[in-house]
Amino acid sequence: MAGKRVLTPQDEDFPRWYQDILNKAELAENGPVRGTMVIRPYGFALWERMQAEVDQRIKAAGADNAYFPLFIPEGYLSRESDHVEGFSPELAVVTQGGGRELAEPVVVRPTSETIINAYFSKWVQSHRDLPLLINQWANVVRWEMRPRIFLRTTEFLWQEGHTAHTTRQEARDYAARILREVYRDFMEAVLAIPVLVGYKTEAERFPGAINSMCLEAMMRDGKALQMGTSHELGQSFATMFDISYLDADGNQSLVWQTSWGVSSRMVGGLIMAHGDDRGLVVPPRLAPVQAVVVAVRDAEGVADACHRLAGELAAAGIRTKVDDRTGTGFGRRTTEWELKGVPIRVEIGPRDIEQGKAALAVRAGGDTEAVGLSEVPARVASLLDGIQQRIFDDATAWRDSRIADASTPAEVREATATGFARIPWAELGPEGEADLAADAVTVRCLQRPDGSLPQSGDEADLVAVCGRSY
- The domains of the chain, with CATH numbers, are 14-67+116-274 (3.30.930.10), 291-383 (3.40.50.800), 403-467 (3.30.110)
Phi-psi region of 449 (alpha: psi -120 to 50; beta: other; left: phi over 0): alpha
Average pLDDT estimate for 295-305: 93
The pTM of this model reads 0.95
Q: Can you give 143-163 as a three-state secondary structure string? A: CCCCCECCCECCEEEEEEEEE
Determine the residue type at 189: A
Instruction: Classify residue 325 as exposed, middle or buried by CB count within 10 Å of its CB (0-12, 13-18, 19+).
Output: middle
Average pLDDT estimate for 117-123: 97
Instruction: Give the N- to C-terminal CA distance of the chain in Å, as an integer.
Output: 32
13: Cβ–Cβ under 8 A, 6 or more apart, which residues?
A: none
pLDDT band at 458; cut points 50, 70, 90: confident
Which one-letter DSSP state was computed for residue 276?
B
8 A C-beta contact, residue 285 and residue 381 = no
The two counts, helices (H) then strands (E), for the chain are: 15, 23
Query: Rounded to an integer, what distance in angstroms lies between the CA atom of residue 237 and that of residue 117?
Result: 7
Average pLDDT estimate for 33-37: 96
250: Cβ–Cβ under 8 A, 6 or more apart, which residues?
A: none
> 389-394, long-range: CB within 8 Å, 24+ apart, which pairs?
390/364, 390/365, 391/192, 391/274, 391/281, 391/283, 391/364, 392/188, 392/192, 392/193, 392/194, 392/283, 394/364
Query: Rounded to an integer, what distance in angstroms lies between the CA atom of residue 149 and that of residue 27?
Result: 10
Report the Cα 28 to chain-centroid distance in Å: 16
Average pLDDT estimate for 167-194: 98
Counting residues of the chain whose pLDDT is more than 90, the rounded percentage is 93
Counting residues of the chain whose pLDDT is more than 70, the rounded percentage is 98
Give 347's strand partners.
294, 359
Mean pLDDT value across the chain: 96
The whole-number pLDDT of residue 1 equals 40
Average pLDDT estimate for 365-380: 95
Instruction: Give the CA dihedral 172, 173, 179, 183, nearest 10 degrees.
Output: -130
Per-residue pLDDT of 213-242, as tens digits, reads: 999 999 999 999 999 999 999 999 999 999
Whether pLDDT at 307 is above 80: yes
Per-residue pLDDT of 241-266, as tens digits, reads: 999 999 999 999 999 999 999 999 99
8 A C-beta contact, residue 283 and residue 344 = no
Query: Rounded to an integer, what distance in angstroms lies between the CA atom of residue 154 and that of residue 142?
Result: 5
The whole-number pLDDT of residue 4 equals 65
Of 31-40, 45-54, 83-92, 408-417, least confident by mean pLDDT is 83-92
The whole-number pLDDT of residue 2 equals 43
8 A C-beta contact, residue 422 and residue 464 = yes
Average pLDDT estimate for 105-113: 95
Query: Rounded to an integer, what distance in angstroms lies between the CA atom of residue 89 and that of residue 108?
Result: 13
Of 1-5, 166-170, 324-328, least confident by mean pLDDT is 1-5
Quickly list DSSP for 342-408: -SEEEEE-HHHHHHTEEEEEETTT--EEEEEGGGHHHHHHHHHHHHHHHHHHHHHHHHHTTEEE-SS
Instruction: Classify residue 391 as exposed, middle or buried by CB count within 10 Å of its CB (0-12, 13-18, 19+).
Output: buried
Query: Rounded to an integer, what distance in angstroms lies between the CA atom of residue 223 and that of residue 230?
Result: 21
8 A C-beta contact, residue 344 and residue 378 = no
The whole-number pLDDT of residue 5 equals 77
Instruction: Give the CA dihedral 108, 110, 111, 116, nearest 10 degrees.
Output: -20
Average pLDDT estimate for 399-422: 98
The whole-number pLDDT of residue 456 equals 83
Of 145-149, 167-171, 180-184, least confident by mean pLDDT is 145-149
Rg over alpha carbons for the chain, rounded to the nearest Å, is 25
